[in-house]
Structure 1
Amino acid sequence: MASTHSPNSPQGLPLLDIEVLRTFVAIAETGSFTRAAQQVFRTPSAVSMQIKRLEEMLGRALFVREPRQVHLTPEGETMLGYARQLLELNDEAVGQFLSPQVGGTVRLGAPDDLGTRVLPGVLSQFSRNYPAVQVNVRVGRSPDLMRRLDIGELDVVLMIAEAGQRPHARAEAIYREPLVWAGREGGVALQRTPLPLAVADRGCAWRQMALSSLNRSGLRYRIAYTCEHTGAQEAAVLQDIAITPFPRSLVKSPIRMIEEEEGGLSALGDYEVLLLRMPARGAAVEALVQHIIDHFAGQTTAAAAAPAESTA
């Protein structure tokens, strides 16, 4: 926690807590207490308490709280610059003493859904903790990534599968989340017949889960928008061209979650993030694997503790 010593106390000016600053920066960058909580592996209520104490210590409001997001006050903008400098200096200093013994190159493969939305933030933190480790990332289709793992071209692979499915003997589930139907707020795509869908190309677990659910329910549908990236699916939904299967954590306004049984739709079930690694690849690989596992464990904890947005 941030120190509460008075500036006039014998201890001098209060000291800023690095972990509180990390939380502060995460909120500023995401515009959300809930999403920031996922990044720093804390509950939204703990994050709110950290910021409340920081604001009390500084005697300034750092955020303006609104129903769907938060944004910085002018004093918060000033604090953000200092916070980023302090965090960078802290990570550099700690890294010089704790991480030099771990070095080398790790070849990591991931599908687009993870490679564009999740990995950049995960790898940014990893590089600060392990500056001597170089991570080379390949984003591609899961079958190709598994083939490259088997022939030794990759050390670690992340992939997405329907919960309980194991497409590879070495697959380890590290995260589980509901897949939900998503559509545009106020949109009419859900009312069209046949139902227009935006899905990824063949081989995508989310596509297969969606089509299996529709076939079970007997609904007529057509694939109106086929793409390789979730960003394209999201764009199709935003334009009300179609509905799409989406991870619950990615559903943000103006996209909404379509409730079960709405429009005759049935639940899609859960998907899992699987991790595969080549055995005995060294300390650098193990360090990255543990970092990734810790990240997803933090997401699971935050999601379980915070079913709704908290900006208090």
Structure 2
Amino acid sequence: MNATAPTALPLLESDVLRTFVAIADSGSFTRTAAQVFRSTAAVSLQIKRLEETLGQRLFIREARQVRLTAEGEVLLGYARRLLKLNEEAVANFLKPALSGRVCLGIPNDLSTRVLPGVLTTFARSHPAVQVDVCVGRSVELVAKVDAGELDLCLLETGNQGLDDGLGEVVHTEPLVWAGRDGGLAVRRSPLPLALANPGCAWRRAALDALDRAGLDYRVSYSCDQSAGQEAAMIADLAIAPFPRGLVRPPLRRLDEDHGLPPLGDYQIKLLRGHQRNDAIEALATQMIQAFAQG
């Protein structure tokens, strides 16, 4: 009679371990979701399955942050070592087949949201490719593409003076009203708004929606980047139109509870320049995949 074969232990997936480490470092499921281009629900499901696999609770969820349990602390050490070992193994076999230079344009609001994760991954997979980044307004970036100064460019649709037919859609999400959780700005009249400067798609969508709804408003805070709008909302000086994926504590969505008009969808597009080569296409593919995983 053959002896019963021992049950194989489950394997820990690198993708899940990266998410686990990111949450441990940031103390937030929401911030991690933005970093790994997934929804908060998808990140939570990854951790739930990891906890079920190990039979241990890994995080303690508190009001404004999450922290590791004792078992989570132990796993964090293993996770960092496993990810490092995986990186070394892959680097040992993959040679830098691609080389060259790629000039990438990206709007201000996307530079901190998208760029770090994509460029980190690309640098690991294609270390011999030099990526030069230009951050600016979408209209200005399109002009640089037309002039041959940029090989690739991310665009936000709806900007004044920009042809929305340009580029390939790589990301779509709802544009929503956001403000301080428990704040009073949303109850004021006229409604105080924190908006980007004229020409911004978010500004245009917000003002058109309020005008159609016949709601009184005033622009109490103007800035060039979403970080400025976020600061105004956290201070409860105003509310603002924001992509749903950027709304995180202490901010929250307001449109569902306060009768604010819908703003529609917000899209990000990828525009290719005149020059085409393998290095450019590799970075384009990396960015498309990064958005698709969200």
Q: What's the TM-score, normalizing by structure 1?
A: 0.81
Q: Give CA deviations for 1:184-216 in whole Å, capped at 9, x if unaligned.
A: 112111122221110111121111111111111
* CA–CA separation in structure 2 for the residues paired with 1:40 and 1:184: 24
- 2-side partners of 1:252 and 1:151: how far apart? 38
Q: 1:216 to 1:14 in 2, by over 3 A?
A: closer
Secondary structure, in 3 states, of the residue corresponding to 1:117? coil
Alignment pair present for 1:242 and 2:242: no
Aligned position for 2:289:
294
Distance 2:59 2:156 in 1: 36
Alignment-derived partner of residue 227 in structure 1? 223
Alignment equivalent of 1:269, drawn from 264, 273, 289 = 264
Q: Select 2:123's aligned residue among 104, 109, 127.
A: 127
> In the alignment, what sits opposite 2:248?
252
CA distance change for structure 1 residues 35 and 189 in 2, over 3 Å: closer, same or farther?
Answer: closer
Give the secondary structure class of the aligned counterpart of 1:223. Answer: strand
Tell me which residue corresponds to 1:52: 51
Residues 109 and 225, structure 2, Cα contact 8 Å, conserved in 1: yes
**Contact 1:22/1:40 (<8 A) preserved:** no
Match of 2:105 in 1: 109
Task: Tell me the alpha carbon deviations over residues 143-183 of structure 1, each in whole angstroms, 9 at most, x when there is no partner.
Answer: 111111111111111011149x9726541111111000111
The secondary structure found in structure 1 opposite 2:221 is: strand
Map of 1:158-237 to 2, 5 A cutoff? 158-162=154-158, 167=163, 169-237=165-233
For 1:289 and 1:200, locate their aligned partners in 2 and report how far apart those are by CA, in whole Å.
Answer: 28
- CA gap of 1:23–1:50, structure 2 versus 1, over 3 A, is farther
Q: Could you tell me how far 1:279 is from its partner in structure 2?
A: 4.2
Selected match of 1:23 from 19, 25, 30? 19
Alignment RMSD, CA only?
Answer: 2.8
CA contact (8 A) 1:160 1:272 kept: yes
Q: How many angstroms apart in 2 are the aligned matches of 1:10 and 1:245?
A: 53
Relative contact order: is structure 1 or structure 2 higher (C-alpha 8 Å, sep ≥ 6)?
1
Q: What CA deviation, in whole Å up to 9, does each residue of 1:25-74 have, x standing for no partner?
A: 23323445566567276934651354125533xxx543224466532124
Residue 80 of structure 1 corresponds to 76
Letter in 1 for 2:219: I
What do the CA deviations read for 1:268-300 (whole angstroms, capped 9, x no partner)?
Answer: 11010011011442111111111111111111x
Please list every run of 5 or more consecutive structure 2 residues that lacks an aligned counterpart in the other structure. 1-5
How far off is 1:137 after superposition? 1.4
Whole-angstrom CA distance in 1 between matches of 2:191 and 2:7: 70
Using the TM superposition, name which of 221-230 and 184-193 deviates more.
Answer: 184-193
**What is the CA-CA distance between 1:10 and the residue it aligns to?**
10
Distance apart, 1:83 and its partner CA: 2.2
Distance in 2, Cα, partners of 1:280 & 1:240? 47
C-alpha distance in structure 2 between counterparts of 1:105 and 1:92, whole Å: 25
Mapped to 1, the partners of 2:234 and 2:207 lie a distance apart of 21
Report the TM-score when normalising by structure 2: 0.85
2:46 maps to amino acid? V
Q: Counterparts of 2:196 and 2:212 in 1: how far apart (Å)?
A: 20
Deviates more, 1:128-137 or 1:14-23: 14-23
Question: Could you say if the C-alpha distance between residues 34 and 193 of structure 1 is closer, same or farther in structure 2, counting changes exceeding 3 Å?
Answer: closer
For residue 253 of structure 2, give the secondary structure of its aligned residue in structure 1. Answer: strand
Contact 1:162 1:270 in 2 (8 A): no
Q: 1:71 to 1:45 in 2, by over 3 A?
A: closer
Whether 1:282 and 2:277 are equivalent positions in the alignment is: yes
Which secondary structure does the structure 1 equivalent of 2:219 belong to? strand
Q: How far apart are 1:113 and its partner, in Å?
A: 1.2
Q: Distance in 1 between matches of 2:214 and 2:257?
A: 13
Gap change, CA 1:243 and 1:10, over 3 Å in 2: closer
Counterpart contact for 2:166–2:271, Cα < 8 Å: yes
